[in-house]
Structure 1
Amino acid sequence: MENIMDISTTENLKTVRDSNQEMLDYFNGLYVAKLEQIQSLKTEQFELKIKIDELMKTLEVYSFKNSAGHNVFSPFSTTTTTQEEKAAQIEQELKELNASDAELTANIHSLQADADELKSRITLLHTATRKLDTFLDELADEFTKESTALEDDESTEENLPVINHGFNILRLKKYDQDKLVQTLHTDILDQLDRTRHTLDSLSWLIKSDINRATVTLDELIERTISMKDSLNAILSGLTGDIDTSVPIETLLRDTIFRYKDTHPECVIESDIDCPDASIEIPEIITISLIRILCECLDNVYKHANANRIDINIQILSDQISVHINDNGIGIDKNYSHTSPWNSGLHRIQELIYLLNGQLKIDGDIISGTDIRFSIPIEIM
């Protein structure tokens, strides 16, 4: 009966998720339409400002003709009355154009406000859809675990830890690859596709409407900069942006200082003991240590509700030992089973396993969360 209810719940959640996606697609369509309207009005306003500028210059010429010191033999010489009439006509036209400009500005602001509201709704729907996807994945994983548990026997139990580590590592790798593909598709491929269409339009606009072509070119430049920023963020996420030529003690201090600066509400006390600064540490261990430290601190800020963290790191010739304690709400003793499979704690666990290290995590509401791990330094 429990499994039937779980399956029913999953199906209901999938229905909610599909409805969410439909609303997301609908609002995305509205948002794009609003942006196109805004761009069209901006182009119209740009052309209007050019007309206003030209009329202002013409008005200055007529004002110059009417000046008291103007040479009567000038080729511009006409009767004062005619000049005043033309100046008045230009001023009236300027008044009408300025009114149109003000109206366009108001319309653009109104459309921009609508677009901002749509963007906010899209962000909320996207977040909800993503969380539903994550929750559905977790439910599917739980069903898999329950089915596997029923089939386990004593001979399988001896090898269970090794099988779990290998499975989890591969699953985390697949999860990260899927996230990267999604990011590349959303931030890069979609932008490239839009850029291709815009370039097609630009080649036609250059010949037919140079003003609109100028606006479109500015749009292309902004989009290119945005794609560059997205690529830099992706590359930084892949490489970790860790300079292993810098001493490990300096890297650790800089990392902790960055978290102090980002989260001033939480006090961090740290003690890094590295008696021998000339210790050679493999690059992969340095990168992994920094990533593990970041995962630990991120986990504290997201879940622990702590306002103090104590960090003790000892770097010896054969081993790195780390102790991190916070004064937060503690952690479930069965965290490895109750927390999502793609959580930061599982990433820490598998990284340390790959480095032949040891990890112990425990805690309660009194003492907070206590994380201890050690990594052997093996020079290959």
Structure 2
Amino acid sequence: MNQAISISMLDGVIKRTIETVEASKAQIFEISEHARQQGNTLKLELHELRQEISKVIQKVDALELAYRKSRNRLVLVSRNFHTYTEEDIRIAYEEASRIQVELSIFRERENNLKRRRNDLERQLRNLEETIERAEKLVTQMGVVLGYLTGDLSKVDEALETAKQHQMMGLKIIQAQEEERKRVAREIHDGPAQSMANVVLRSEIVEKMLKNDRILEAQMELHELKEMVRMSLADVRRIIFDLRPMALDDLGLVPTLQKYIQTYEERTQVTVDLVVFGVEQPLKSSVKAAIFRLVQECLNNVEKHAGANKVQVKLEFLEDALVLVVKDDGIGFDVDQLTAKGGSFGLLGMKERAQLLEGTMELQSSPGEGTKVMFQIPVKY
């Protein structure tokens, strides 16, 4: 009873903590979004300001040239007063004075615009730093929330292997948060940034059309079309990374072939996909898990192995599916890595295999490459 009360009290404390952390996380996210909106507004203003500065500089250059010519004209008529009339001298003097005044005005305007530009650039840098700090805080809070929202109903069972499960759980949550952060960053730096540019440049096109600058507007619209096309390609790639729809439409093997082709083009690493047996219909969750295992293995090869060739072997047995990924990279000391607690990638793959009631075996040594083997029980 006391134990139940203690767990109940602990659960209440954790729930209140979770609510507080979630509220703080939402507030930080709002701050980040507000800063991002301000940044987009500043970027638009900065773009227009730079265009105006360019025009003013051109005007200043033209006025400086005109002023030099007017000064030369004034010197000429002053020295040859017997040749020119007083009216000629007066006109030359007034013209030089007028250009000098106009030049002074535009120089002052140039300086004011540059000061405003520098101020906007400084504000934009500050906003970008604020957004970066906010994103880090959101990631950290996500890790805390993921850890706090664990199931407390099996505390006694969890305590038996508390240290191991705590380490693995925390690392998995961190890996999940990093993956979410990576996807968010890809969306922010890719489609979101492109869409912001589309909004900015569409406003420029709108101004061009109002000023009857049709040809320039058509050129801008052509560039906008290309930008939207590239953004669409980025969105499709991100969607494929999150959950390849081809898994349900085409099956596991064709989806792996498509992914490997893209992987080879991006990394210049040769990947040989070998399939034994006939592909059998698998549950959607099993297909997704197998695809993620291959994806994670190849990501590890790209990041750490320094390999030139990789073999991916997929074998369909009567009651199991065997996956082997072998590379000719630099390899590593398995015992040494295990003593350090393993890596996020290997822990994640092991956890995914265990969720499928399967096994994972790792073989590697320095200079001898790496071989990862999975055996997943399946029912066709």
- The bucket for the TM-score relative to the shorter chain is 0.5 to 0.7
Q: Using the TM superposition, give the Cα deviation of residue 47 of structure 1 relative to its aligned residue in structure 2, in angstroms.
A: 3.8
Deviation at 1:189, TM superposition (A): 8.9
Q: Which residue of 2 aligns with 1:231?
A: 232
Partner residue of 2:148 out of 127, 131, 139: 139
> Unaligned regions of 5+ residues in structure 1, if any?
69-77, 150-175, 262-269
SS of 1:238's equivalent?
helix
Task: For 1:200 and 1:323, locate their aligned partners in 2 and report how far apart those are by CA, in whole Å.
Answer: 51
Q: Does 1:110 align with 2:113?
A: no
Give 1:84-103 correspondences, 5 Å limit.
Answer: 84-103=93-112
Which digits, 9 at most, give the CA deviation of each residue in 1:212-245, with x for residues without a partner? xx89x96x98887665544323311333599988
**Contact persistence 1:42–1:108 (CA under 8 A):** no
CA contact (8 A) 2:324 2:373 kept: yes
> Does the CA contact (< 8 Å) of 1:295 and 1:345 recur in 2?
no
1:129 corresponding residue in structure 2: 138
More deviation, 316-325/1-10: 316-325
Aligned residue type for 1:22? Q
Whether the aligned pair in 2 keeps the contact of 1:272 and 1:312 (CA below 8 Å) is yes
User: What amino acid maps onto 1:372 in structure 2?
Assistant: M
- For the 8 Å contact 2:362–2:372, the answer to whether it is kept is yes
Cα distance, 1:37–1:53 mapped onto 2, change above 3 Å: same
Q: 1:15 aligns with which of 8, 13, 20?
A: 20
Q: 2:36, 2:127 within 8 Å by CA — same for their partners in 1? A: yes
Overall identity of the aligned pairs, in %: 14
User: Which position in structure 1 is the counterpart of 2:38?
Assistant: 33
Query: In structure 1, how many angstroms separate the alpha carbons of the residues matched to 2:56 and 2:272?
Result: 68
The residue number in structure 2 matching 1:171 is none
1:5 paired residue number? 10
TM-score, normalised by the number of residues in structure 1: 0.53
Q: 1:104: how far off?
A: 2.2
Q: Residue type matched to 1:5 in 2?
A: L
Distance 1:15 1:206, change over 3 A: same
Give the TM-score of the pair, scaled to structure 2: 0.53
Cα distance in structure 2, aligned partners of 1:194 and 1:5: 49
Query: Counterpart of 1:142 in 2: which secondary structure?
Result: coil
Amino acid at match of 2:359: L
Counterpart of 2:98, as a letter, is Q
1:327 corresponds to 2:336: no
Q: 1:185 to 1:123 in 2, by over 3 A?
A: closer
1:293 aligns with 2:299: no
In 1: Cα distance, 2:45 partner to 2:154 partner: 55
1:66/1:83 contact within 8 Å kept? yes
Matched residue type, 1:322: V
Aligned with 2:374: secondary structure? strand
SS in 2 for 1:373: strand
How far off is 1:97 after superposition? 1.9
SS of the residue 1:82 aligns to: helix
Distance, in Å, in 2 between the alignment partners of 1:10 and 1:254 is: 44
| Structure 2: runs of 5 or more not aligned | 1-5, 77-86, 159-178
What CA distance in whole angstroms lies between the structure 1 residues aligned with 2:266 and 2:197? Answer: 37
* CA contact 2:272–2:312 (8 Å) conserved in 1: yes
* Aligned equivalents of 2:100, 2:190: Cα separation in 1: 48
Structure 1 128/56 Cα, relative in aligned 2: closer, same or farther at 3 Å? closer
- The alignment partner of 1:110 has SS state of helix
Deviation, 1:322, is 0.5
Deviation at residue 288 of structure 1 after TM alignment: 7.6
Q: How many residues align?
A: 317
**Residues 331 and 363, structure 1, Cα contact 8 Å, conserved in 2:** no
The alpha carbon displacement at 1:9 in A equals: 3.7
Contact 1:331 1:364 (C-alpha < 8 Å) held by counterparts: no
SS at match of 1:322: strand
